[in-house]
C-alpha cells in the first residue's frame, strides 16, 4: 500500500484566512500538536514575509521533532536566502519555492513572458538547491496554465533539482475528473517525473478541494497539501481531517494510507479553532459537533442494534469521545493528572499546578466537570500572555428596569485601579470600564460567546478579537459567569497587545 505524505500548511496558507494570524508562541503550540498528529511536513510560514514568520520557522525548526520543517519562498533571491537563514539550524528542512505559470498571472500580474518565468524558476531552483537538498516547486495557478508549458516548466525544475513538484489549484477552479486527468497526463508527458514526488494543493472555492486531492491520489499523486479544519485563503484549503479519513475509510479504493495518528484529529482541530478563533460549522465532516450525532429515530434504532448500520467511522478513531463526566470537587491531584494523561496532555509540574488550581476553583462553582471543561482550562494557559493587567474584581448590576452598571478592579503597573461604568448591557458596561482603566485605543472587531457543555452551570467561553494600529490579536476567557469570561477575554487580548508593543 502507498503511503501518501501529508504536508500541513495550516501555519502558512491556513494563516492567510482573514483574522487567523498567529504569533510565534501560538504557531509553536500548533506545530507541536501537528508533530503528535504525525504530519510528514509542516509549512511553518513564509520567512521573507515578516520577522514574525521568520522567527516562527526558526523556533519550530529548533523545537519540533519529527516532521520536515518548510518555509515558503517566491522564486526570488531575497526570499530563498531568507528561507535558508530561517532553516539553517533545522536538521530536517525544505524550501518551497513557487512561480506562476498561467498566462493570466504572467501577463496581468507579473508582466513577464513564459520564457522569463521559466528561466527564473530554473535559476531560483538551483539557488535553493545550493542551500538544501529538499526543494519543492509549485507552478502557481497550474490548473489554468497551458498544459504543454506547465509540463515544460516542471521537467526543467526537476532537472534543476526539485524533489517535489506541487500542483496548485490556486483559485479552486478545477473539478475532480479534470484534476485527476491533469495529474495523469503530467505523468505521461514529463520524462523525468519519477525523480520527484507529485504533490497537490487544492483550494476550496467550489467546495471540491478534498475531492480534487483524492482524484489526484488515484492518478499517482504522492503528497497532499492541506490544513486543519480546511482553513486557508478565501474558502480555504483541502481539509486534512477529511482527506486523511477518506483515504483510511476507503483503503479498498485508494490502496493508500497516511502516517497520521487519527486519534489526535479532534484535539488538533480544537486547538486550531482556539488559537485562530475560527470555529468549524456543526455539520463539518469529521470534526463538526454533529459529525457523529444521530438524530433520526430510524438511525438511532439501527445504531443500537449494530453500529455499522449508520456509522462509517468510529468516533473514537478520530479522538471524538462522547462528553464524559470526569471529576468532581473531591478529586485529587493524582486522579486529575491521570485524566489529563488519558486526554493526551502531558503537562510540566508548573503547568499542572496552574491547571489544577483552576480546576479546584471551578469545582467549587460547578458540580460536574467534563473533559471539555478541562480542555478549556488548559487552553486558557495555551493562549495566555504575560500579565500587564489582571482582573481583581468585577461586580454587575443589571435587570429589566436598571441601567446596566459594572464596577471593575484591575491590577496594573500603577497599582490596583477601579472604575464604574454604565452601558447598553452588562458586557458593554464591563468593557467600557476595562477600556477606561487600561486607556486602550484598540477597537473590538469580534466578540463570540459559547457554552462549553450543556446545563445552566456550564462554563461560558468568550473569544474576542481586537485591533490597534493595524495589529489584530485574539483573547480568550472561560468562566461559569459569562460576564467574568468576557472580562477575562478582553484583558487577555489587551495583555497580548501590550506584549506585542514591547516586542517592537
Ligand atoms: O494556492 C497556491 O497556489 C499557493 C502556492 C504558494 C503553493 O498557496
Ligand atoms: Zn494556496
The model's pLDDT over 323-345, given as tens digits with 9 standing for 90+, comes to 555 677 777 888 888 878 777 67
If one residue of 72, 135, 138 were mutated to test the ligand 1 pocket, choosing by the most ligand atoms within 8 A of its CB, it would be: 138
Ligand nearest to the CA of 200: 1
464, 489 contact by CB (below 8 A): yes
The closest-lying atom of ligand 1 relative to the alpha carbon of residue 237 is 1
Any ligand 1 atom below 6 A from CB of 264: no
pLDDT-derived band at 263 (thresholds 50, 70, 90) equals: very high
H/E/C letters for each residue in 328-379?
A: CCCCCHHHHHHHHHHCCCCCCHHHHHHHHHHHHHHHHHCCCEEHHHHHHHHH
What average pLDDT score do residues 426-453 get? 94
pLDDT at 289: 87
pLDDT at position 325: 54
- Is residue 73 within 8 A of residue 47, CB to CB? The reply is yes
**What tens digit of pLDDT does each residue of 107-127 get?**
999 999 999 999 999 999 999
Residue 503 in this model has a pLDDT that exceeds 70: no
Query: What percent of the chain stands above pLDDT 90?
Result: 75
Output DSSP code: residue 129. Answer: H
Ligand 1 atom, smallest distance to 98 CA = 6
486's CB contacts (< 8 A; 6+ apart) are 427, 430, 431, 447, 449, 462, 464, 477
Please name the residue whose Cα sits nearest to atom 4 of ligand 1: 170
pLDDT of residue 156: 98
Alpha carbon of residue 413 to chain centroid = 34
Q: Is the CB of 201 under 6 A from ligand 1?
A: yes
Q: Is 46 in the pocket of ligand 1 (CB under 6 A)?
A: no
Q: Which SS3 state, helix, strand or coil, does residue 143 take?
A: helix
Asked whether the beta carbons of 53 and 46 are under 8 A apart, the reply is yes
Q: Is the pLDDT of residue 172 over 90?
A: yes
**Among the listed ranges 196-200, 381-385, 493-497, which one has the minimum average pLDDT value?**
381-385
| Whole-number Å distance between alpha carbons of 394 and 403 | 16
pLDDT at 191: 98
Query: Ligand 1 within 6 A of 138 CB?
Result: yes
Lowest mean pLDDT, pick from 19-23, 142-146, 267-271, 454-458: 454-458
Q: What is the pLDDT of residues 42-57, one digit of tens each?
A: 999 999 999 999 999 9
The CATH code that applies to domain 390-503 is: 3.30.160.270
Q: Which atom of ligand 1 is nearest to the CA of 168?
A: 3
- Cα 446 to ligand 1 centroid, rounded to whole Å: 28
State the pTM of this model: 0.87
pLDDT, mean over the chain: 93
Per-residue pLDDT band for 301 (boundaries 50, 70, 90) equals: confident
**Torsional sign, CA 29, 18, 77, 171:** positive
pLDDT over threshold 80, residue 504: no
What is the number of other CB atoms lying within 10 angstroms of the CB of residue 261? 13
Compute, in angstroms, the gap from residue 141 CA to the centroid of ligand 2: 9
Look at ligand 1, atom 1, and give the residue with the nearest C-alpha: 170
Q: What is the CA radius of gyration of the chain?
A: 25
| Record: fold of 2-276 | TIM Barrel (3.20.20)
Residue of 15, 98, 157 to test ligand 1 pocket, by largest number of atoms within 8 Å of CB? 98
171: left (phi over 0), alpha (psi -120 to 50) or beta: alpha
Give the chain's end-to-end CA distance (angstroms, integer): 51
Atom of ligand 1 nearest to the CA of 166: 7
Residue 153 grid cell? 516548466
Confidence at residue 122, expressed as pLDDT on a 0 to 100 scale: 98
Q: Can you give the pLDDT at residue 352?
A: 87
Q: Ligand 1: which residue has its CA nearest to atom 3? A: 170
Domains of the chain by residue range = 2-276, 390-503
Same fold, 2-276 and 390-503: no
Residue 385: pLDDT band (50, 70, 90) is: confident
Which atom belonging to ligand 1 lies closest to the Cα atom of 142?
3
Q: Report pLDDT for 12.
A: 98
Q: What 8-state DSSP symbol labels residue 425?
A: S
- For residue 77, the CA-to-ligand 1 centroid distance in Å is 18
Query: For residue 323, what pLDDT is reported?
Result: 56
Amino acid at each position: 500500500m502507498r503511503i501518501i505524505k501529508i504536508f500541513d500548511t495550516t501555519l502558512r496558507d491556513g494563516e492567510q484566512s482573514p483574522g487567523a494570524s498567529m504569533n510565534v508562541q501560538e504557531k509553536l503550540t500548533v506545530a507541536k500538536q501537528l508533530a503528535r498528529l504525525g504530519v510528514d511536513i509542516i509549512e511553518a510560514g513564509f520567512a521573507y514575509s515578516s520577522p514574525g514568520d521568520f522567527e516562527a520557522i526558526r523556533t519550530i525548526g529548533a523545537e519540533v521533532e519529527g516532521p520536515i520543517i518548510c518555509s515558503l519562498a517566491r522564486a526570488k533571491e531575497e526570499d530563498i536566502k531568507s528561507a535558508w537563514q530561517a532553516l539553517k539550524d533545522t536538521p530536517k528542512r525544505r524550501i518551497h519555492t513557487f512561480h506562476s505559470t498561467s498566462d493570466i498571472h504572467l501577463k496581468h500580474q507579473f508582466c513577464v513572458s513564459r520564457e522569463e518565468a521559466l528561466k527564473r524558476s530554473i535559476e531560483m531552483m538551483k539557488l535553493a538547491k545550493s542551500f538544501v537538498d529538499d526543494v519543492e516547486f509549485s507552478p502557481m495557478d497550474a490548473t489554468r496554465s497551458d498544459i504543454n508549458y506547465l509540463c515544460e516548466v516542471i521537467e526543467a525544475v526537476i532537472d534543476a533539482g526539485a524533489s517535489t513538484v506541487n500542483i496548485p489549484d490556486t483559485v479552486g477552479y478545477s473539478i475532480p475528473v479534470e484534476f485527476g486527468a491533469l495529474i495523469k497526463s503530467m505523468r505521461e508527458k514529463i520524462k523525468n517525473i519519477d525523480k520527484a514526488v507529485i504533490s497537490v494543493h487544492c483550494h476550496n472555492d467550489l467546495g471540491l478541494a478534498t475531492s480534487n486531492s483524492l482524484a489526484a491520489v488515484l492518478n499517482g499523486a504522492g503528497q497532499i497539501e492541506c490544513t486543519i479544519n480546511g482553513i486557508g485563503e478565501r474558502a480555504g484549503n483541502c481539509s486534512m481531517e477529511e482527506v486523511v479519513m477518506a483515504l483510511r475509510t476507503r483503503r479498498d479504493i485508494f490502496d493508500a494510507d497516511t502516517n497520521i495518528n487519527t486519534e489526535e484529529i479532534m484535539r488538533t482541530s480544537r486547538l486550531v479553532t482556539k488559537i485562530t478563533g475560527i470555529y468549524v460549522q456543526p455539520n463539518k465532516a469529521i470534526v463538526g459537533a454533529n459529525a457523529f450525532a444521530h438524530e433520526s429515530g430510524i438511525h438511532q434504532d439501527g445504531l443500537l442494534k449494530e453500529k455499522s448500520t449508520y456509522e462509517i467511522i468510529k468516533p473514537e478513531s478520530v479522538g471524538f469521545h462522547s462528553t464524559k463526566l470526569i471529576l468532581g470537587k473531591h478529586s485529587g491531584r493524582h486522579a486529575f493528572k491521570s485524566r489529563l494523561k488519558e486526554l493526551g496532555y502531558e503537562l510540566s509540574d508548573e503547568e499542572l499546578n496552574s491547571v489544577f488550581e483552576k480546576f479546584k476553583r471551578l469545582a467549587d462553582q460547578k458540580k460536574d466537570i467534563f473533559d471539555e471543561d478541562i480542555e478549556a482550562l488548559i487552553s486558557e494557559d495555551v493562549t495566555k500572555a504575560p500579565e500587564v493587567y489582571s482582573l481583581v474584581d468585577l461586580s454587575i448590576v443589571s435587570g429589566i428596569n436598571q441601567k446596566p452598571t459594572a464596577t471593575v478592579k484591575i491590577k496594573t503597573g500603577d497599582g490596583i485601579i477601579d472604575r464604574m461604568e454604565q452601558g447598553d448591557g452588562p458586557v458593554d458596561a464591563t468593557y467600557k470600564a476595562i477600556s477606561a482603566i487600561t486607556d486602550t485605543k484598540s477597537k473590538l472587531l469580534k466578540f463570540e460567546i459559547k457554552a462549553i457543555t450543556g446545563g445552566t452551570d456550564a462554563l461560558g467561553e468568550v473569544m474576542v478579537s481586537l485591533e490597534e494600529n493595524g495589529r489584530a490579536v485574539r483573547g480568550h476567557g472561560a468562566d461559569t459567569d459569562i460576564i467574568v469570561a468576557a472580562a477575562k477575554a478582553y484583558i487577555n487580548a489587551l495583555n497580548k497587545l501590550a506584549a506585542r508593543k514591547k516586542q517592537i
